[in-house]
Amino acid sequence: MVPAARRLVSGGKCAYIAAMLNDSIRPSLAPFAAVVFDMDGTLLDTETVFRQIVFDVCGTLGFEMTDAVHQSIVGSSHEATNQLLVEAYGVAFPYALFDEQCRAMMRQRLADDVPVKVGVHELLAELGARGIPAAVATSSRAPHAQRHLGQAGIIDLFQAVVTRDDVANPKPHPEPYLTAAARLGVPPGDCLAIEDSHSGVRAAHAAGMQTVMVPDLVLPTDEIAALCAAVMESLHAVHAAVFPGPGR
């Protein structure tokens, strides 16, 4: 049988979901004492919006964005994105201007509503009801993270929010996840991490956390899937796996 992760890469997210259903396998996750979430693409349904902005801004600046280049920057820090874009387009790429325009357009397009991913409210509600602490570990800067989590109406559901401003080393370094665990007062090995990007999966795994990937725009390679305790199609699937019950 072809591994599910390989089928996801070759057939897309829908093919992976079908493969999971056909396999009739529910991943078995170890017990955990806390959950640490990535933000964009995991909690917030913002990566699709940002993708369009990146393509639009690059075109305005005279550069052609491609799917391959875009996927390389998903989940990356400000510094890593700068480096990746300079590598792709050369030292003439005006990263400061690109970043400024992307941020302005993001604020404009999400001024009235910041959508959350399917299953966010249900999973966070159950964590709260069970007294399981939750944190956010994001590569975004503090103002961006605080504003978007607040606009989404979920910021008060987290006991800690770790942003790029809180760490010396962003993802894929484990520091964001180690910092989140420390702020929660829970050993990293007792935390469940939920991610949507390769960079985030590498960071959470390196921190020693049980890691689940819920792909958004970027699908897992075999290498990334091997770092995960499970790859699931949605937060609803994560909810069902960690809190099995009637109807799930």
Residues with catalytic function: 38, 40
Would you call 92 exposed, middle or buried from its count of C-beta atoms within 10 A (0-12, 13-18, 19+)?
exposed
**Locate tokens 């302005």: which residue?**
104
Q: What is the three-class DSSP state of 91?
A: coil
Residue 231 backbone phi and psi in degrees, to 5? -120, 120
Burial 108-121 (b: 16+ CB within 10 A, else e): eebeeebebbebbe
**Rounded Cα–Cα distance for residues 136 and 1 (Å):** 36
The Cα-based distances of 175 to 15, 138, 230 in angstroms read 34, 11, 22
Would you call 154 exposed, middle or buried from its count of C-beta atoms within 10 A (0-12, 13-18, 19+)?
buried
CB neighbours of 82 closer than 8 A, spacing ≥ 6? 95, 99
- Provide the 8-state DSSP code for 188: G
**Locate tokens 């109406």: which residue?**
153
Residue 211: closest CA among 219, 222, 203: 203
